[in-house]
Amino acid sequence: MKRILCFGDSNTYGLAFSPEKGPYRLDEEHRWTCLLQKELGPEYRIIEEGLNGRTTAYDVPASDTPPLFDAPNFASRNGAAFLPMCLESHSPLDLVILNLGTNDSTKLFGLGTPDIVEGMRTLVEIVRAKPPVMVFPTPRILIIAPVPLSPLAMKDAMMTDEGALKRSAELAGEYEKLAEELACDFFDLNTIPCHELVDGVHLTEESHAAAAHALAEKIRSLAL
């Protein structure tokens, strides 16, 4: 059985919104991680590690944060801080999927596109820098370029502005360069047939299904 860790943010967790429900989590019939498991079958084991608000390698600023980021445990949203424990907990792994960068793009963090790319580089280095106690082979790494924020996200003026839209749109090209430099695999979510964002940030149910199908094809091509 091939073990695959899906390490991401709310679009890996399956956060969704509707006028009737407000925020809710997509169930196992609609999340791309669960659909990916169905597509790949019993020869693969998909491990979900999505967390709302997760960044590549950056802490949430301590002041002037929106209420959503005000929880006492929000420091745990730094992906680089949690990834080492996560890797050790779920090893052995054959593939680690890194699906982050959207939250880094928001104006809350004051980052530039190069900073976000360096955050992703840090995650790759963490995957490859195994603790001495780990005797398992180093997993392959698949970097995913997220769907860029859309103007709908600007309804939340505390989080998103024109700069955030620009940064998130630049990630696909920059992540592809990084993947080539670091000999990682790469997949651009913008290439799937359906990549709408229901609120300018989060994937629709249709997008989750399209992503699962496309990623299944990509993963099979890797011959893990």
pLDDT of residue 200: 77
Split the chain (224 residues) into runs of 10 and give each run's mean pLDDT. 97 89 91 98 98 92 57 73 94 97 92 97 94 79 94 67 91 98 97 81 92 97 94
CB 79 within 8 A of CB 101: no
pLDDT of residue 97: 98
- Domains in the chain and their CATH numbers? 2-222 (3.40.50.1110)
Structure tokens at 33: 């991680």
pLDDT of residue 56: 98
Residue with tokens 């073990």: 3
pLDDT of residue 152: 72
pLDDT of residue 193: 84
| Beta-bridge partner residues of 24 | 16
CB 9 within 8 A of CB 3: no
SS3 108: coil
pLDDT of residue 66: 54
